[in-house]
């Protein structure tokens, strides 16, 4: 089942552990602000790192070591020293990666502030990639609860509930049904069954905006 939409909307498929999504965060946040009165943005977590077995950071450290400078050069984003320490010293790091908890956190947040979900997704990625917070640790989210005045007891109860875990896994399945194979991926949904691909992988702001305007012109909006 796809997202049911009575009016056009932007769908942003991302993952909290995706470095290119981190670089794309300023772009999608600006797009969300520019089109807030015309095209709401729905952020879906893709479940990039999901496993029944713990995934140590050493599994992806080599890829990140080779790619993070390219992300910085192309997007202008900066990775923080605290994050890079784990990437550059994977044998010393105690990090185990799992997309599940940040996806659940996003599902919870969207119920509080649906209009700010792109900002919150960006905050999760900043917490990981710049501040070096471990997103599998409950405490990695506490500063965001303060920022958005969310009741901690309510949030942590939901974070460990089966109901919100199911919501997160439903989003993973939606991304699969949308045939998303990499992140970031941005679509414009014009009806229950009609989707326009705006970006597969990183695109800059001007490119995304031009594609949106072309679709809106085609739709007569």
Per-residue pLDDT of the chain (221 residues; tens, 9 = 90+): 456 556 899 999 999 999 999 999 999 999 999 999 999 999 999 999 998 888 899 999 999 999 999 999 999 999 999 999 999 999 999 999 999 999 999 999 999 999 999 999 999 999 999 999 999 999 999 999 999 999 999 999 999 999 999 999 999 999 999 999 999 999 999 998 899 999 999 999 999 999 999 999 999 88
**105 Cβ contact partners less than 8 Å away, ≥ 6 residues apart:** 124, 141, 155, 159
28, 184 contact by CB (below 8 A): yes
For 213, counting Cβ atoms within 10 Å of its Cβ (0-12 exposed, 13-18 middle, 19+ buried), the class is exposed
Q: What pLDDT is recorded for position 198?
A: 98
Q: What pLDDT is recorded for position 2?
A: 53
Q: What is the DSSP letter of 134?
A: -
Q: What is the pLDDT of residues 14-57, one digit of tens each?
A: 999 999 999 999 999 999 999 999 999 999 999 999 988 888 99
Q: What pLDDT is recorded for position 6?
A: 64
Torsion of CA 138, 141, 146, 152, to 10 degrees: -30
**194 Cβ contact partners less than 8 Å away, ≥ 6 residues apart:** none
pTM equals 0.94
Q: Calculate Rg over the CA atoms of the chain.
A: 17
Q: What pLDDT is recorded for position 3?
A: 61
Distance CA 115, CA 118 (A): 8
């Amino acid at each position: 089942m796809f997202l049911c939409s009575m009016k056009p909307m932007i769908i942003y498929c991302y993952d909290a552990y995706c470095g290119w999504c981190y670089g794309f965060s300023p772009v999608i946040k600006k797009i969300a602000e520019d089109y807030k009165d015309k095209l709401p943005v729905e952020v879906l977590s893709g479940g990039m790192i999901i496993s029944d077995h713990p995934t140590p950071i050493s599994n992806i450290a080599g890829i990140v070591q080779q790619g993070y400078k390219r992300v910085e050069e192309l997007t202008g984003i900066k990775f923080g020293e605290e994050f890079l320490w784990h990437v550059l010293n994977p044998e010393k790091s105690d990090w185990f990666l799992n997309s599940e908890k940040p996806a659940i956190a996003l599902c919870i947040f969207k119920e509080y502030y649906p209009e700010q979900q792109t900002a919150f997704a960006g905050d999760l990625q900043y917490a990981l990639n710049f501040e070096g917070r471990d997103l599998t640790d409950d405490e990695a989210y506490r500063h965001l609860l303060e920022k958005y005045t969310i009741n901690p007891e309510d949030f942590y109860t939901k974070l460990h509930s089966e109901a919100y875990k199911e919501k997160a896994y439903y989003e993973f399945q939606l991304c699969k049904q949308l045939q998303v194979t990499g992140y970031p991926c941005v679509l414009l949904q014009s009806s229950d069954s009609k989707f326009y691909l705006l970006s597969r992988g990183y695109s800059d702001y001007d490119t995304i905006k031009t594609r949106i305007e072309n679709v809106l012109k085609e739709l007569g909006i």
